[in-house]
């Protein structure tokens, strides 16, 4: 009685799941590999999107840091009132 290729793969997946997740369930290992493959497939698209919007994202981040600095300096301890938070939100939304 021989063991087929799928049988060997199932056994490897069960052992990997047992080592990594303390459960001998091959579905866990397969889902993990599939998730990693999908993440790798999306990576070039995400990197392209970030590169194409680098200046805009930098401007938004700078604005957020500036607003946080202003808010902290106004209150002295980082707490804010709702009126100044509304102004901050409006300022950030205008940039988009």
User: For the chain, what are the domain ranges?
Assistant: 5-52, 54-95
The reported pLDDT for the residue numbered 83 is 53
Handedness of CA 75, 92, 63, 50 (dihedral sign): positive
Percent of the residues in the chain that have a pLDDT greater than 90, as a whole number: 27
DSSP H helix total and E strand total for the chain: 4, 0
pLDDT digits (tens, 9 = 90+) for 32-72: 889 989 988 989 999 999 999 999 999 999 999 999 998 88
The pLDDT value given to residue 23: 80
pLDDT at 61: 93
């Amino acid at each position: 009685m021989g063991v087929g290729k799928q049988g060997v793969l199932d056994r490897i997946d069960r052992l990997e799941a047992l080592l990594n997740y303390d459960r001998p369930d091959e579905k866990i290992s397969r889902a993990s590999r599939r998730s990693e493959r999908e993440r790798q497939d999306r990576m070039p698209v995400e990197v392209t999107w970030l590169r194409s919007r680098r200046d805009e994202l930098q401007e938004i981040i700078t604005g957020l840091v500036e607003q946080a600095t202003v808010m902290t300096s106004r209150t002295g301890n980082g707490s804010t009132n709702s009126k100044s938070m509304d102004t901050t939100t409006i300022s950030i939304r205008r940039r988009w």
